Amino acid sequence: MVDLTSDNTGIASGMEVGDDDGGGDSSDELMRVIVMAWVVMRMGMVIVMEMMMVVVIVRMILMTVIVLTRLMMTAVVVLMTLLVMRVVWKIGMMVGYFSPDMHLWKETCFLI
């Protein structure tokens, strides 16, 4: 606050209230700079933390996609193996190569 009146309070015209020498109070300026630096630092930390959270979320999504893709590929391989076994079993039964009395192929056919 600037007091432009010159009265008997000892404050000359143009001096800030609380000043003794008429210049800007260096401790106020220093405090203002420190507070501004602290605010900027906190904002920077918040921005960095938000970016890190975005990176973590994207990483989690990518890891989930990778895991689901691996599970899908495993399921496809298992299903294709069962399909091939079934086709081999059917062809073998048609040509009479496998007899229905074979224990192992009975279990395999039961699984399919």
Please tell me the predicted confidence (pLDDT) of residue 29.
85
Judged against a pLDDT cut of 90, whether residue 63 lies above it is answered with yes
Taking the CA atoms of the chain, what radius of gyration do you get in angstroms?
41
CA 8/CA 42 separation, integer angstroms: 45
Kindly report whether the global pTM for this prediction surpasses the value 0.85: no
pLDDT tens digits for range 17-34: 555 555 555 678 888 889
Helix, strand, or coil (residue 94): helix
- Taking CB atoms within 8 Å and a gap of at least 24, the contacts of 85-89 are 85/112, 86/112
Q: CA torsion, points 32, 34, 35, 38, in degrees to nearest 10?
A: 160
Which of 11-15, 47-51, 52-56, 64-68 has the least mean pLDDT? 11-15
Domain ranges of the chain: 26-111
CA 20/CA 27 separation, integer angstroms: 13
CA 1/CA 4 separation, integer angstroms: 10
Helix, strand, or coil (residue 95): helix
Q: What tokens were used for 69? A: 């893709």
Please tell me the predicted confidence (pLDDT) of residue 72.
96
pLDDT tens digits for range 75-112: 999 999 999 998 888 887 777 666 666 655 555 555 55
